[in-house]
Chains A and B, each alone.
Chain A
Amino acid sequence: MRRERFLPFAFARHGLRLAVSELALDGKSLPLDEHEVIHLDDESWRELRLVGAVEVGDEALASLPPDERGRADQLAALWLVLRCDRTALRRGVPVGPGGAGTREFELTVPRAEVDGPFEVVPWLVRSRAGAPPPGYAASEGARLASGPRLYVYPHEPAPRAGDFLEVVYVRFSEDAVLRHQPWRLYQLETHGDTPVLRINADHESIVRVLDARGQTGLDARLREVFYDQISRGVWSLLFTGAVESLDSEGRTHRPWQQGVIRELLPHMFPETPKRERMHELVALREDESHLSLLAEKCDEALQRRLDAVKHMTRLIETTVGQR
């Protein structure tokens, strides 16, 4: 995790908005499903091209003193910084002058320069030193504003839990066995060729949220958090079952077990080359003293994959907005 500093002068941490409008691998356009995170196939590309725009709003320009804001185009500049930890890559790409408005950019990243996840961060900086009043940045290169960074993961999109699962709603009160466990929200069965997740339909208000279809509003935000809660438990159980079935060569008894492991491995060992990840997992599983480390890795992987922080934050923002 990178540490954030509180700066000794005006700085708009969320003053910029970076939007990607086009993604192409080796000249071939790909659909964009998400705008803050991009997943790519690990092996099959040589050059990534991103086209998009960065928006500089009033909040960002408020980091300049009032008498300089009208000259932001001369005093500030907009940059993108590309970073990849595993290849020690730090590269700046100038986007344009820093005045209000939207600036388009085009970014090309050769595959040979990156390995593992990399990020693109928008920055508005002071391009010329000055003598502003106290509380404002004066030096060349000083930070004025930033915005949400774009993450690019060089592996395939995460399949939804449903790809490995059959999900059914059951009134536990009507089931001969489950009726004795009315407190249960769900029950997972992993014995067959496809695991079955039974969600207790007796909890009608929860089911209503889980079934909500909208993309905005309180129900959508609650749905994300509820799904995270259930997914966390279910994925942990699926993972434990899959790891139990692993042999020393990394093979599993059933295809779903292989699917679950393949899905979580990149999140468990993001610093390890793809071909080494299964070795690492088998080594951890085979040493009893490492079981807590295995559980920790699984927890890290799920936190990384489920994006619970984003979903909880959105829920808080939505509920605060409705107060």
Chain B
Amino acid sequence: MNELRRLRASGRHLVTEELARGTVGRYDEAALSAHLAPAERQIALDGFDRALKTTLERFAPGDPQMDPELAMAVHQNLPLSRREAADPGVWRYLAVVRHPEAVRHRWEYRSFATMRSRFWQRGTRFDANAFSRWWWVAELTFEPGAPYALTRLALSNGALSTHLFTRQLAWHPPTLAACVRVLRDASGPEVERTMRIFSKMLSVRVPEAMSAEALEALARAAVSRDR
């Protein structure tokens, strides 16, 4: 089977400590039919599989520099609409059934609770399903004029990506871009404090009604207030 599928909620028990540690490398997909369903639309995975393999091979296990490259590879090779990508079943299929080795390659096993989340939990948090996070971060940071330039910047700073993609302000492209441009080289504590101040500033404004320049100026003001 070389098409995208969905792992149903009933397949939750497949996320075991053995899978997370790699004692079980990969399940036999043919034996999981009761928990699998077709994706909403037929999407071939040949290109996706190749791009993922090539990207993983370029990095040593645990190297965080693979994040932007993986985000690009996953997003470029999975042409999903946002509606399709909102289905956690597709991300669970990719992480639990098709490519658990990618999750293990990116993150060293430290605790089962966190690893389980990286196989199962939808969203863009740092501990969410790995494929969901890579795809959604690339989607949110994609700018047609300079595809994936912002993705690279956002994911190259671990503290920034952690604090940015746990907040709903990251859903608004100009606000997200302002944060990335202003905080791309900031330290962890600076990112944390600035994001807190910037979020508070936005809570009395409507960012959707502000220009990109005004948002960037506001983000710079948040940095200054932080100092």
- Chain A residues in contact with chain B, CB under 8 A? 5, 7-9, 77, 79, 81, 86-92, 94, 111-116, 123, 125, 127, 137, 139-143, 272-273, 275-276, 279-280, 283
Contacts and interface: CB of A to CB of B under 8 A. Distances in A.
B203 A113 contact: no
A90 B172 CA distance: 5
A283 B209 contact: no
Given A88-B171, A111-B83, A114-B83, A276 B205 contact: no
Given A113-B82, A272-B9, A89 B209 contact: no
A202 to B, nearest CB: 48
Given A115-B82, A116-B86, A142 B204 contact: yes
**Top 7 closest pairs, chain A to chain B, by CB:** A92-B208, A112-B81, A141-B210, A87-B82, A115-B86, A141-B205, A90-B172
B60 interface: no
A168 to B, nearest CB: 41
Contacts, number: 89
Chain A: interface secondary structure? Answer: mixed
B209 A79 contact: yes
Contact of A90 (B37, B85, B168, B204): B168
A5 B203 contact: yes
Interface residues of B, number: 31
A9 B205 CA distance: 11
B167 to A, nearest CB: 11
A141 B214 contact: yes
A195 B84 CA distance: 39
Contacts of B82: 87-89, 112-115
Given A113-B82, A114-B83, A125 B206 contact: yes
B68 interface: no
B182 to A, nearest CB: 17
Contact of B9 (A111, A140, A279): A279
Contact of B37 (A5, A79, A86, A275): A275
9 contacts: A7-B204, A79-B209, A90-B168, A90-B207, A114-B83, A115-B87, A140-B210, A279-B10, A283-B10
A58 B109 CA distance: 60
A123 B209 contact: yes
B208 A139 contact: no
Of the listed residues B87, B170, B211, the one surrounded by the most CB atoms of chain A closer than 10 A to its CB is B87
Given A115-B82, A141-B214, A273-B87, A88 B136 contact: yes
